[in-house]
Amino acid sequence: MASHRRPKQPSRARVTVLTAAAATAVALSAQVSAHAAPAKPNKDEVKAQVDKLLDEQEQAAEKYNGAKEKADQLRKQADQLQDQVARGQERLNEVSSGLAAVAGDQYRQGGIDPSVRLMLSSDPDGYLSQASSFDQAASTQAETLKSLEDQQRRLSQQKQEAAAVLAELDSSTQALNDAKNEVKSKLEEAQSLLNTLSAADRLSITQGGGTASRGADRVDLSNLPQAGGYAGVAVSKALGKRGAPYVWGATGPGSFDCSGLMVWAYAQAGVSLPRTSQAQGSVGASVGTDWHNAQPGDLVVYYGDRHHVGMYIGGGMVVHAPHTGDVVKTMPVDAMPISTIRRV
């Protein structure tokens, strides 16, 4: 008869080890799942994030424009003050040399009182004329001393002014670099998001329809009202730059940012505009916020912080430089919230 052995039961210790191993495996599996790469964002999600980043980039770009304008002005002012200091030092040296010559002459004369020297002179007939000459010399010496004091005081003031301007320039340069770094950071972040998409999707976001592109360029220019004067020139020049790339900090003629396009277009008409969209939001006369009251050439400034600007061209449209990756184009005037409309 065959014998049947009862299967050996696993020991309690082995069961415990197996159970622990299984639990560990489950925990590790859960941990791996928790740290798995997040789901890839879809096109709409990327577009929303890119729109936000490009708006923030444009805000930083206008900060950069303002800081650069201020730094340029301060640098010019500092150069002028330093030139004044150099010229003042030259004048001070000249006065000092003249005073030194008078002192040297007195030393060579032995420091004798002029009247005593004249009384001991072998030419009494020349006493009066020489006395007059000594009086004039003394007067000249007094004037030289006063001029020396004035030059020293003026030079000291010029040096203080130059030092203050240079200190302000350092601060402005730091603000300029901070704004530049912020722009680059926003652009790098936006590009990183765009790189998760196909080339076609990237192009549709940066130059396609919707918020990211701020509108398509489909206006029929033949139906636009014709503006006259310098406003008409500015409109014509701005429209002539359609297709030029947006480059932050650029004022033409080959590339532009939003405020740079306004500056360049009006400069062609002989009108000087401030550099930033914020400053352009205070130029000229206010037309309010209702675009129906706008005329061709008016500046339409957008958002509460006024970080974007376009030029009204009529027909409910503006021409503007949208953002990095896009080109100068037209869009409906009310495609973004209007902060103010200004007539230059």
Catalytic residues: 258, 308, 320
The alpha carbon torsion through 238, 240, 245, 247 (nearest 10 deg) reads -30
Residue 156, token pair as written in the block: 């000291």
Q: Is 264 helix (H, G, I), strand (E, B) or coil?
A: helix
| DSSP type of residue 121 | -
Q: Is 311 helix (H, G, I), strand (E, B) or coil?
A: strand
Residue 182, token pair as written in the block: 């912020």
The alpha carbon torsion through 200, 203, 205, 206 (nearest 10 deg) reads 170
Q: Is 53 helix (H, G, I), strand (E, B) or coil?
A: helix
Q: What's the length of the chain?
A: 344
| 262, 311 contact by CB (below 8 A) | yes
Tell me the DSSP string of 222-255: GGSPPP-HHHHHHHHHHHTTTTPBB-TT-BSSS-
Measured distance CA(288)–CA(339) in Å, rounded: 8
Closest by alpha carbon to 68, among 249, 277, 248, 246? 249
